[in-house]
Each structure stands twice: as C-alpha cells, then as structure tokens.
Chains A and B, each alone.
Chain A
Amino acid sequence: MSDTAVNHYVSELHRLQKEMGCDNLARLREAAIGRFQSQGFPSTRQENWKYTDVRPLTRMPFSLPETGMVADHEAWLNEARLPGLDCHELVFVNGRFSAELSRTDGLPEYVVLKNLAVALEEDRTLIESLIGEDNADSNPFNTLNTAFILDGVLLSVPTDCIIDIPVHLIYLSGFSDEGFAAHPRNIIALEANASVTVIENYVGADNSRYFTNTVTDAFLQENSSLTHYKLQQEGRGSYHIGNFNILQAASSRVYSHSISLGGSLVRNDIHAELKAEGAEIALQGLYMGTGKQHIDNHTRIDHLSPSTQSRENYRGVLNDQARGVFNGKVVVHKDAQKTDAAQSNANLLLSDFAEVDTKPELEIYADDVKCSHGTTVGQLDQDMLFYLRSRAIDEETARSILTYAFAEEIITQIDLQPVREYLEYRVIGRLPDADLIKEFTV
C-alpha cells in the first residue's frame, strides 16, 4: 500500500516536471525522487517513527495544487496576521506563492527575500550549493520535499546586516478541492554577524484534507543570529510534516520557538548541527492536542565542536484522545569538550484517553561535558485546584487557568510582543471558559 503511495509521488513528479519549470533543477528533483523511492515512507518499525504512523497520509493521493487565487483570502489573511506586528510579509496560498498578497517593500537592496521559484530562475548556483549541503536527507519527507522543490522563500542576509523588522511567512491552505499537497522549501542564509527574525505561520481550513510537507534550511555563518517562530495552526483535517535543518558556524545563535496547535497528524523535526566553537541554540516548544490530534516533535542537536551550548524546553498539553510524542536527542561528539546541554520536557495529561510518549536521549562521546535532561508526565496540581476552588472559582475555570499557566511558561519566553500576545489569545481561546481566564491572566 505504501508502495502505491510512493509510486504516486513518482508519477506526479514526472507529470509535473515540465510544468514546474526551472530545468536546471530537473536533475536535482530526479535524484531526490530516486532516493525517496528507495527510502519509501517510514514505518513504525523504524526507531524514529516508532510512535507515529504515517499510513493515513499514504492512503490519499495528494497532488500539487493548481496555481491561482482563492476567494475570501482577505478574511483568512486577517486571521493569520499578528496584530501590531510590523513585518515583511510573504504569502503562500495552497503552497503556491502569491505575489499580489505579499509585501516586502522597505527591505535594504542587498538583502534577498523572494520566492524560491523566482530565485531559482535567477541564480541557480547559489541554491544548488545550498541544497547540495542539505544533510537531513535521511528523512524521507525531506527528500520528498526536495523532489518537488519550487515555491518557498529564499532569505539571504549579507555580512553585518541586522534586519530589525521580522519576516513573516504566511501559508494559507485548504481553500481548494480536497487532496492537495504543498512542499514549501525555505532557505535562510545568514552571513557573518547578520541577524534576522523569521515567523512561519501555517493557517488552514478545518474542513479540508490536505498535506503540508515543509522544509526550512538555515545556514548561519560566524556570529550570526536567527530567531525563528513556527506557528502551526493547520486545519483539523490536515497532515503537517515539517523539517527544520540548521547548520551553525562559530558563535552563531539560534532561538527557535515551535508552537503546534492544529493539524490531525503533525510531525515536526528539528535537526541542528553546532559545527564550530561557541555556537548556541535554544529550542522552545509547545504542543496542545485535543480531539484525535497526533502531534509529534522530534529534535536532534549535534554538538560537533567544543564549547557549544544547547537549551531545550518543550511542553505538551494533551486532552481528549490526543496523542503527544516527544523525542529529544542530544549527541555530544568526540572532542566536543565543554559542551553544555540541558533539556526538559513536561507533559500534562488531562484525559484517560490521551497518550504521551516521550523519549529524551543523550549520546555522549566526550568527558568534560555538562549534560542533563528531565521529563515528566503529570496532571494539574490538586492543591492548586483546591486553592482556586476555595476562592469560588468553578472547577472548569480553575482547570483552564492552571492549564494555561502550564503552557504560559513557553509563551513568556517569546520576546516579540505581538507574537506573544497573539499566542496568548490563541492558547486561551482553546480552553474552556476562555473569557473568564482572560480576566485572570491579562
């Protein structure tokens, strides 16, 4: 069955190769689909996919969407925009870039921010060199994305350039017939001392079944800094697979915030390689599952050089029949002395039908290191509930307040105020008695 699905994507590529254009990428795509064919879709027998079964995703033959606009986009765009955020905005509808809806004016000329398809036409060498460096091909979905490479973002920030205004990438999906797949590919290249903030915002319609397979590659040169937000609010019928690959040079810094609220089957992979001394990464994550959602977060941090640092903090709230999966792997390679790595994963299990599978991993081959991880699965504190109840707050509201307080630890870490407020609003909105909690918290 899975073979049929693989073959479907192979024939899709052959059908669309011409349409997609960019002849110089044909070879890259062909090679990728070849690799994908030999990899196939992952099965739960593979360690990395032990808790996530992608078979539902393979049962439906997703096709690339037609280009073109959708009606009613303004309302959705307003939904996705972050109030009070001054930003450069690129909009993708059903995975295809929409120049009309995007606005990037005011960017310095020497900064490249454009749709990947356009960039591919203009400068093949740059992109091929960047994609050639892609090292996460062991993930079949990453390979599949490369096979359909076309739309997405190329953001290239030259040396010493600090972009103050965040770049907001909005992916609106689910406004067409059922069964389309989008494979957005984003490439973020930061030269030495460059700095930028990128927000990836995935918003979708609940009544549509579609497949988003996104890949973001970030290349950080010396002393550069990337703040990255991923807000995953896909429609409830959608499949979302995301790969975020990071390569870090000396003293570069990455601050990643990954918030997963939507989708029916969600898998987020982050793979960071700290390749030179002084590189630092901080990963924050929040996943909230209700209904039958399945949300899987996999992270892998490779400490390849001495004196590198990583911090990781993921929190999950699982209700109804939702399932949360967390796998955080930290590998300290030989000679990566003075590595400092700390990781924490906390889960709130609110229903007897919900499930949490968590696996923090440490693989250490150097001795002068400081590494730790901790993980918990638990419930709301009875004493705290009692405290609130004794002050005449009804049980449901009390539970909502405490649940929000649990999630808030990740949200408060967000420096960018409009993003933080937007998320506070979104997270509270998901809880019972939302209006009441707002009174308590705001």
Chain B
Amino acid sequence: MATKTHDVETLVKKEYEHGFFTDIESDTVAPGLNEDVIAFISRKKNEPDWLLEWRLKAYRHWLEMEEPRWAHVHYPPIDFQDISYYSAPKTKQDGPKSLDEVDPKLLETYEKLGIPLHEQKLLAGVAVDAVFDSVSVATTFKEKLADAGVIFCSFSEAVQEHPELVRQYLGSVVPAADNFYAALNSAVFTDGSFCYIPKNTRCPMELSTYFRINASKTGQFERTLIVADEGSYVSYLEGCTAPMRDENQLHAAVVELVALDNASIKYSTVQNWYPGDEEGKGGIYNFVTKRGDCRGVNSRISWTQVETGSAITWKYPSCLLKGDNSVGEFYSVAVTNNYQQADTGTKMIHIGKNTRSTIISKGISAGHAENAYRGLVRITAKAENARNYTQCDSLLMGDKCGAHTFPYIEAKNASAQVEHEATTSKIGDDQLFYCMQRGISEEDAVNMIVNGFCKEVFKELPMEFAVEAQKLLGVTLEGAVG
C-alpha cells in the first residue's frame, strides 16, 4: 500500500516520474485561433458540414463570453492566441490497423508510462483507446466489443462512421455555449472517445482511455461522448499522465454522458498530469466540463475521480437527474501539494421524482496548495421525494495550505431531504504516534492514514485503478509531512 522508498530526503527531491518527451514529427498548426483554424481542423478531420457549422457557432458564442473568475484559483491570464489548436502524430495518415503498424516511438512512450498495450491485450480484458496528443493511434479489443454491438472508437472515427449517433447526442448534455471553456472546446476539439452501448447490453469489459499530452504548446481539447441505451451498463476508465514541461498547458475537455431508461454508467478518472515543480512553475491547467444526463427512468450515473495532478484543476462532474428514480453519485479524492490549486466538486440537479444523489468528497491539501470543494445540490419544484447526502472532508498537511468548502443547496420541494456535512482537520498526532510506536515509519504512517481517509472513494474504483490511485497518492504527498 505505502511506497517502498523510505528516504524522505530523496523522496522530497524526486522529480516527476513520467517527465520525458518523445520526439515525433507533429503536424501542427501555427498558434492562434480564428474561423480559418476551425475550418482547417474540420477539413483535416474530414467532417460533415453540420459539424463545422456547429463548431463555428460555438466559436462565435465563445467570442462573446467572458473568462470565468469565480473559482478559488489564481493564475496569469491565458493568451488564447498563443496556443496551437491542432497537432497530430504523422502516423495518422497511414491509419495503423494493428499494433505492428503503430510508430514504435509511441509504443515506447506507453511503455514508459507503464501501459504496455500488447500486454494489456492479454490482461484483465481492458480495451485501450489511447489518445496520443489529439489523434487516436491504437484501439484494442475492437472485435470483442463489436460482437457485443458496443461502439467504442475515437471521436473522429465516430463522426465518419456513426454520424447520426454523434449528431443526435453531441452537445445534448453540454450545449456548445454552456460555459467559456466548453464553448472553446466545442469550437476546436480535435479528438476524443466515443462510446455507444446498445439496448440491454452489459459492456463485456471495462473501457479505458489513456490520455497523454505531448508536443509543446499544444492545448488539448478532448471530447468524450458516452451513450448508454436502454437497459445497458458500462464502466469507463480515464487516466492521464503528462511529460514534464515549463510552459503552462491548457486542457479544456468536455465529457458528455447520456443514460437512457434503466441504463447505468460508471465513469472513473485518475488524473495525474504534470502539477508543476516545487516552486509552482509549469504544470497543466485542467479546466474540464463533465456532465452526465440521467435521461431515462431508473438510470444511474456514477462519477469517481482521483485528482492528484495538474497545476490547476477546475472541474465539476455533474448529474442531471431527469428520469424518475434516477441516481447520481460523485466520489472524489483531490490531492494538492506544493503550489497546486484545485477547485472541484459536483452539481446534482434533481428534476425527476424519487431521484437520489450521493456526494462523497475528500480533499487533501499540503505544501502551499489550495483545495476547494464547490458543489451544488438543487431540488427543483417538481422533484418529489428527492434525496441527497453530501459529505466533504478536508485534511490539511502543513500550515501554508488552504482547504475550502463552498456547498450550495437550493431546495424548492417540500418532500426534499438534503443533508450536507463537512469537516476539516489535520492528521492527528495521536494517530501518527500510534502507528510509529508500532515501528511504522512516519512516511508510511501518513500514507496509511491518508489512504484510510480516502477509503470510501477508493472502494468505488475498479481494481487496477484503486491500486494506481493509492500509489499516486503516496507519490503526490511525498515529503508533505515530516
């Protein structure tokens, strides 16, 4: 459970493990954003006209929008004209059909990240749709999924092969002009994942995408769309690492989930992008819009996230509980160290009758970091018998960090039951003493206590992720106490 390295000094000084840079000739467009760039992206992806129109509409909206400033984070203004909006590995033209055709350098990168694709083929049945920069390069287990009727492919592929599905659901949960970053994403998104589970199908394996940011100065604008048709079930895993870099990189993804009658979606994230160095220099800006739409009766959407990376994390995976008896869940662990800032939480909008939601949020703040929970629970007037339970706990390590809680609760129905609880504390000296007195080093003891603190969330993660998440936690908090 705890990391095996015990020398605190070396741990503190340890550099970001995944910091390396693979040199691949990128097909990159010059920095800047205008309608031509959007048309270029759309042409490059061979998109239908309606999609280009949709992008341009989003762009025009975006031009009129103001960058939001309400989050509890601070960063220098972003120059949106200084970002290159398209970058694709050269191999894209050839369109690799199997692993053998994939650029060996790419494979090498994955190797370093500990995602051996060919091994994973044999492993616990996880199909990987790996996004390297903006274009998907390898997709495994396609056949098995195809047998079940499940569509799991890159977004650009979906646009080509299933345009009717994409057109029907794209922007139906997060409209193109939803917010500043969602609008930007809608205008310039390059790729992402698309997933459709047909009626009464239980997806035969856990679907997984590994993101990786590469190529300097390229913002990543992923678009993920998951549709679970009536009576279906899917568990989706998303995990990220990024190479070390000095410049701040913007990442503004949009994730849309649609659950129809009796469908269930479980979406798990482990986010470990480069958080910046010990002085807070560099690191990824992670401004993400994630929203799930429980459109059908008895539908369920469950978000689980472990946020350890990024210089700034700003995301609120939300649930629109439209269908009667639908269920929304949010389990989150957000860890910030050094100069990281996180403003994260969820929105649960109860619209249907007998809707239920659960929010469990654990924030851990160390070093000079700022960690905020911001959540909204809204019970609309027609949501009879809605039920919410929220628990937000914060753990502080060190006297220079901050932990904040901003829960909004709006209830308009007299049958609503809403509960919110929050606590903030530090690791108890007596807990530490108890562990150390039994011969456990301080670092390990802290790890144990922190893992115990996060247990409620970790148990929601799929097995492999749970292990990875615990490791990550240990690495992120190295040297935070002692």
Contact = CB atoms under 8 A, between A and B. Distances in A.
B8 interface: no
Interface in A181-219: none
Contacts of A371: 423-425
Contact of A365 (B402, B408, B410): B402
Interface in A356-397: 356-379
Interface stretch (A241-249, A272-280, A344-352): A344-352
Contacts of A360: 405, 407, 420, 422
A365 B401 CA distance: 6
Interface in B46-71: 70
Interface in B389-403: 394, 396-403
Interface string B405-441: 1111111111111111111111000000000000000
Contacts of A334: 399-400
Nearest to A358: B409
A354 B414 contact: yes
B381 interface: yes
Contact of B426 (A352, A358, A369): A369
A371 B403 CA distance: 11
B18 interface: no
Contact of B415 (A355, A356, A379): A379
A441 to B, nearest CB: 24
Given A349-B416, A367-B397, A377-B416, A362 B422 contact: yes
B404 interface: yes
Contacts, number: 113
B422 A372 contact: yes
Give the size range of A's interface with the partner: 35 or more
The B interface, classified by DSSP as helix, strand, loop or mixed, is: strand
B418 A376 contact: yes
Nearest to B421: A374
B262 to A, nearest CB: 28
A362 B424 contact: yes
A366 B418 CA distance: 29
Contact of B402 (A335, A358, A364): A364
Contacts of B424: 362, 364, 369-372
Given A362-B403, A367-B401, A373 B422 contact: yes
Most buried by A among B381, B418, B424: B424
Contacts of B420: 360, 373-376
Given A359-B406, A373-B422, A349 B413 contact: yes
A363 B411 contact: no
What secondary structure prevails in chain A residues at the interface with B? strand
Contact of B399 (A47, A366, A376, A379): A366
Given A369-B396, A372-B424, A363 B407 contact: no
Contacts of B408: 357, 359
B421 A372 contact: yes
B2 to A, nearest CB: 22
Nearest to A354: B414
A20 B374 CA distance: 47
Contacts of B394: 362, 364
Interface in A122-141: none
Contacts of B403: 362, 364
Nearest to A357: B410
Given A335-B399, A379-B417, A355 B412 contact: yes
B409 A367 contact: no
Nearest to A47: B70
A347 B411 contact: yes
B10 to A, nearest CB: 25
Contacts of A352: 381, 412-415
B394 to A, nearest CB: 7
Interface in A42-69: 47
Nearest to B426: A367
A248 to B, nearest CB: 22
Contact of B396 (A351, A367, A376): A367
A308 interface: no
A238 interface: no
Interface in A314-364: 334-335, 337, 347, 349-364
A376 B426 contact: no
Contact of B407 (A359, A368, A372): A359
Nearest to B396: A367
A377 B418 contact: yes
A322 to B, nearest CB: 12
B425 A369 contact: yes
Nearest to A355: B412
Contacts of B406: 359, 361
A363 B416 contact: no
Nearest to B393: A372
A250 B381 CA distance: 47
A367 B407 contact: no
B409 A375 contact: yes
Given A349-B413, A352-B381, A368 B402 contact: no
Nearest to B416: A377
A367 B422 contact: no
B399 A337 contact: yes
14 contacts: A334-B399, A350-B414, A360-B420, A360-B422, A361-B406, A361-B407, A364-B404, A365-B402, A367-B397, A370-B424, A370-B425, A375-B419, A378-B416, A379-B414
Closest 5 CB pairs of A and B: A367-B396, A377-B418, A371-B424, A362-B405, A377-B411
Given A366-B396, A377-B379, 15 more contacts: A352-B413, A358-B409, A359-B409, A361-B405, A362-B404, A364-B404, A364-B424, A369-B396, A370-B425, A371-B423, A374-B420, A374-B421, A376-B417, A378-B416, A379-B416
